[in-house]
Homo-oligomer: A and B are copies of this chain.
Amino acid sequence: MTKGAIVTRAEDFPRWYQEVVARAELADNGPARGSMVIRPWGYGIWELMQAELDRRIKEAGAENAYFPLLIPESFLHLEAEHVEGFSPELAVVTHGGGKELEEPLVVRPTSETMINTLFAKWIQSHRDLPMLINQWANVVRWELRPRLFLRTSEFLWQEGHTAHATEAEARAYALRILGDVYQSTMVGVASLPVLVGHKTPRERFAGAVQTWTCEGMMGDGKALQMGTSHELGQNFSKAFGITFTNNEGTTEHVWQTSWGVSTRLVGALVMGHGDDFGLRLPPALAPAQVVVLMIKEEEAVRAAGEALVAELRAAGHRVRLDDRTETSFGRRSVDWELKGVPVRVEVGPRDLADGNVTVVTRHRREKKNVPLAGVVPEVASIMATVGPELLAEATAAREARLVAVATLQEAVEAGTVGFARIPMMALGQDGEDRLAAHALTIRCLQRPDGSLAEPDDLEADLVAVVGRSY
């Protein structure tokens, strides 16, 4: 089955995305509306992301736990804004074990209501604080316009939930997760630059007092919200009665945070680094970092190929041997390029006669003839450059489309093809409504120098980042 080239990004970005996801075998549509099957290549990327995030979450002191999928419907009604935000997206179990249930159960859209029910039981004294919990889980939010990885009725994520003795400590923890876990993984591991800031009240998480966000710019200039960390204040602790006895024996409500990133990050990787030939993976997130391709099934080719696989593995890389020589070399080569494997080593009888193989660097699409003995150092040197070069390229692309403007009209123009930065003062009272009429939103608020706002900053002194979004 021969397949043609994929559509270019310039021709049709959404179709390009769909084709890369399908042809790189990242994911497939599930049978029920809006559902997604994550195939081994896509799941392999997610596993590597998970490991990086999980390590950082544990370094931040949080412990993993697991809470029930099915939540009594009444729990959601305990926090008013929360239920209003999530009601339209719920999947509801009405029958269990062959009988109609007395109270319907909702499939968790997020676990604040469930986890806080347990926090109320577990937290008694200041000695129980801070309580720092993380959960890796699936969640369901009914979706009528699904897009694989970006917006699906079920997705995988981690959700952190914490309780603290003071507001300042909760705020500091929400920001620690934003920086040391999310930004650190997105930039340092996925090589995706992000703008950080907080959301306007209209864009906040349902039930939060402050939502901090990491916003990436995709290949089409649109924004993707890649991860959020919320200060919940005492909204949930008052609704769920989570109190502790402080040092002086007085009872107080805890201050809380919650924070999450999801399989959406796989979509960010595709749209942030992909080119017209498919996906380009930073080595840290590549299920295979090097593929050794045997061009033909010949004894010398196999011997050299297997020896290279062993040497490259010994050098610490994740390596696959592609010996499926009954499939054409060209087809296999295009497939690995689509999948974004950082380095391909092509082993064929002609080159081998001269003691050489061809080393291909995926992100630059550069081929080089390399003597057998030079392959390991060559691969090591390429491997060190991929992440930083992808980050530099994505950053340059974003900077080229990020414009500082002074009027709402200019913000509309710049925000329609990239990001506009505009002083809140210039945007005016009804600015957000007027942007919405152009399908634009405020992605985040920052200080004029791009740093995070402090609690006593005036909104009028902040700058809004405006763009279209996924």
Q: Taking CB as reference atom, which chain B residue is nearest A30?
A: B68
A117 touches B72 (CB 8 A): no
Q: Are A95 and B95 in contact (CB under 8 A)?
A: no
The reply to whether B154 and A70 form a contact with Cβ atoms under 8 Å apart is yes
Contact A68 B107 (CB under 8 A): no
Q: Which chain B residue has the least Cβ–Cβ distance from A287?
A: B63
The reply to whether A68 and B154 contact each other, CB–CB distance below 8 Å, is: yes
Whether a CB of chain B sits under 8 angstroms from the CB of A87 is: yes
Contacts of A72 in B (CB 8 A): 31-32
A88 touches B98 (CB 8 A): yes
- Judge whether A269 is part of the interface by a CB distance below 8 angstroms: no
Whether a CB of chain B sits under 8 angstroms from the CB of A44 is yes
Among residues 64 to 110 in chain A, which have CB atoms less than 8 Å away from a CB atom of chain B?
A: 64-72, 75, 87-98, 104-105, 107
The list of the 7 closest CB pairs from A to B, nearest first, reads A97-B142, A40-B63, A35-B68, A30-B68, A38-B66, A92-B95, A91-B96
Cross-interface CB contact of A67 among B30, B75, B89, B144, cutoff 8 Å: B30
Q: Answer yes or no: A411 CB below 8 A from chain B CBs.
A: no
Q: In the complex the two chains form, is B31's CB within 8 Å of A67's CB?
A: no
Write the nearest CB–CB distance from A37 to chain B, whole angstroms: 5
* Given A91-B96, A142-B96, CB of A28 within 8 Å of CB of B118: yes
The answer to whether A93 touches B92 (Cβ under 8 A) is yes
Which of A37, A46, A88, A118 gathers the greatest number of chain B CB atoms within 10 Å?
A37
Residue A367 at the B interface, CB < 8 A?
A: no
Q: Shortest beta-carbon distance, A267 to chain B, in Å?
A: 15
CB distance from A55 to the nearest CB of B (A): 12
B89 A91 Cβ-Cβ under 8 A: no
* Residues of B contacting A118 in the complex (Cβ-Cβ under 8 angstroms): 28, 37
Whether A43 is near chain B, meaning CB under 8 Å from some CB there, is yes
- A140: CB under 8 A from chain B? yes
Q: Do A64 and B44 touch across chains, with their CB atoms under 8 A apart?
A: yes
User: Knowing A32-B72, A35-B70 touch, does A97 contact B144 (C-beta < 8 A)?
Assistant: yes
0 or 1 for each of A26-66: is its CB under 8 Å from B? (1 = yes): 00101110011111100110110000000000000001111
Q: Is the CB of A71 within 8 A of B37?
A: no
Q: Closest approach, in angstroms, between the C-beta of A460 and any C-beta of chain B? A: 38
17 residue pairs A–B, Cβ–Cβ below 8 Å: A28-B121, A31-B72, A36-B68, A37-B67, A37-B68, A38-B65, A38-B66, A43-B63, A44-B64, A68-B154, A69-B69, A70-B153, A88-B98, A92-B93, A94-B95, A127-B324, A127-B327
Instruction: Indicate how many identical chains form the complex.
Output: 2
Give the Cβ gap from A114 to chain B, nearest Cβ, in Å.
8
Q: A residues within 8 Å of B by Cβ?
A: 28, 30-32, 35-40, 43-44, 46-47, 63-72, 75, 87-98, 104-105, 107, 114, 117-118, 121, 127, 133, 137-138, 140, 142-144, 153-154, 156, 324, 326-327
Q: How far is the CB of A86 from chain B (nearest CB, A)?
A: 11
Q: Nearest chain B CB to A121's CB is how many angstroms away?
A: 7
Contact of A70 among B47, B66, B91 (CB under 8 A): B91
Residues of B within 8 A of A138 (CB): 69, 137-138
Cα of A30 to Cα of B89 in the assembled complex, Å:
23
* B residues in contact with A104, CB < 8 Å: 95
For residue A32, which residues in chain B have a CB less than 8 angstroms away from its CB? 68, 70-72, 105
**Which of B28, B47, B67, B89 contacts A97, CB < 8 Å?**
B89
Chain B residues near A30 (CB-CB < 8 A): 67-68, 114
Q: Say whether B70 contacts A140, CB under 8 Å.
A: yes
**Complex: chain B residue closest to A99, CB-CB:** B142
Given contacts A70-B35, A140-B69, contact A133 B40 (CB under 8 A): yes
Measured between beta carbons, the chain B residues less than 8 angstroms from A92 are: 93-96
A91-B95, A95-B92 known; A43+B31 contact, CB < 8 A: no
Instruction: Answer whether A43 and B68 are a contact pair too, CB < 8 Å, given A93-B107, A96-B90.
Output: no
In the complex with contacts A28-B118, A64-B44, A117-B31, A154-B69 CB distance below 8 A: yes
Measured between beta carbons, the chain B residues less than 8 angstroms from A38 are 65-67
Give, as a whole number of angstroms, the nearest-CB distance from A383 to chain B. 22
Q: Cα distance A35–B324 when bound, in Å? A: 47
B64 x A37 contact (CB < 8 A): no
How close is A174's CB to chain B, nearest CB, in angstroms? 20
Residue A75 contacts which of B31, B66, B133 (CB distance < 8 angstroms)?
B31
- The answer to whether A66 touches B156 (Cβ under 8 A) is yes
Q: Give the chain B neighbours of A43 by CB distance below 8 A.
A: 63-66
Query: Are B44 and A63 touching (Cβ within 8 A)?
Result: yes
